[in-house]
Structure 1
Amino acid sequence: MSTTGSEPSESGAVVVRYWAAARAAAGVESDRVEVGSGTSLAQLLDDVRRLHRDRPKLPDVLGVCSVLVGDRPVGAADPAAVAVRPGDTIELLPPFAGG
């Protein structure tokens, strides 16, 4: 893959933030996860599952989370088609009750 000066060509980290039940399931508030310039959201979520393989509830919680990549909601997009780039912040928001 060729890159221009405006596209990241190196690997780096993203910050994954867990909210509410996702935080409880992961056991942490956030993680820094290394990604490359061609990493998809699906690949990142697989990395998160592996990182927390000792947390059995996390995969189920991730399956119902809304996801923001930076300030962009992923919505119904295919996670394999959503790019994550070094420096991005990924917000994992499970359904909230109430209010």
Structure 2
Amino acid sequence: MLDAAELPSVAPQVLPYTAGVHDLMNSHLTLLWQRVGDPVAYVEGNSFGELIDDPDKVLSFRWSYDLVRDAALTPEESTAFIERLLEECRS
């Protein structure tokens, strides 16, 4: 993870438990912006997966994602957090 964090296209962000409950718990969300066409969302959870192309629903998922991202540590704080965890595991 730390090697990937050095890539210019990667911005790791750790969401601490102190952020609490959020809309995207218990599922995985992928937001896709296509060169041609409208954005879509793919939501996947325990025994389900759904591709969503309704613009209002995609926007709602985007807002949920933005809220979770805003509650996460910054990329720099996240990298430091991961480094501290690795040190704890090694000692």
**TM-score of Structure 1 vs Structure 2, range by shorter chain:** under 0.3
TM value normalised by structure 2: 0.25
Please identify which structure carries the higher strand content. Answer: 1
Which has more radius of gyration? 2
Please identify which structure carries the higher helix content. Answer: 2
Report which structure shows greater RCO (CA 8 Å, sep ≥6).
Answer: 1
